[in-house]
Amino acid sequence: QVEVDENGKIVDARFKTFGCGSAIASSSLATEWVKGKTVDEALKIKNTDIAKELCLPPVKLHCSMLAEDAIKAALADYRLKQDPNKEEPEK
């Protein structure tokens, strides 16, 4: 979940993660990184950046992918709630 102010900046972010320490660390880092960014800036955060920052081993890279997917999902939900008449973009 994200909270965005009237200027379009993310002021708070929260997560609920079930899984290993790498999954929790990836989610936690993602929430810290999105705070203070605009929605567009936050969408530029990539799982490779998260994995590199946490020094995740190759077997745990999927944890950083889940964090990136969570950012995208939270921001898509935010945008949908801002303009419910607008359809989701094609993937």
Domains (range + CATH), the chain: 2-82 (3.90.1010.10)
Model confidence pLDDT, tens digit, residues 35-90: 999 999 999 999 999 999 999 999 999 999 999 999 999 999 999 998 767 655 55
- The pLDDT score that the predictor gives to residue 18 is 87
Q: Which helix (H) or strand (E) holds 61?
A: helix 61-82
- The pLDDT score that the predictor gives to residue 61 is 95
- The pLDDT score that the predictor gives to residue 30 is 96
Q: With CA atoms as reference, report the closest residue to 39 among 18, 69, 67, 11.
A: 11
Q: With CA atoms as reference, report the closest residue to 37 among 86, 75, 79, 85.
A: 75
- pTM metric for this prediction: 0.83
- The pLDDT score that the predictor gives to residue 88 is 56
Q: Are 8 and 26 in contact (CB under 8 A)?
A: no
CA distance 67 to 90: 21
